[in-house]
Amino acid sequence: MPPQYKQLTWFLLCHLFNICDAVLTLVAMSRGVEEANPIMAWALAISPVFFVAAKFAIFYVALGWIAYKAPNLLMPIGILFASVIGYHAYFWLLI
């Protein structure tokens, strides 16, 4: 597979994982869990819609910049977000 396809795959996976993280965070918050990130906690205090919009906008801009300047970092970021989704899954096993 050519390198640009691998980078595109990781780019899309990062966005998919970010969407999953947002949804799973909102579900966990509805069950009484607190957001650990203070910036996202502030966004969530405004409204869930603002939280999702801010999360997607910040991530979209940051990941686009990374994809342009340092595309070799897309895979580690994707793996990091996959581990966040794994943490959410572990959380569901506990409740």
pLDDT at 33: 86
pLDDT at 95: 66
pTM: 0.89
The residues spanned by each domain of the chain are: 3-94
Residue 61 has pLDDT above 70, yes or no: yes
pLDDT at 92: 77
- b/e sequence 13-41, b meaning 16+ C-beta within 10 Å: bbbebbeebbebbeebeeeeeebeeeebe
Q: What is the DSSP letter of 36?
A: S
pLDDT at 7: 94
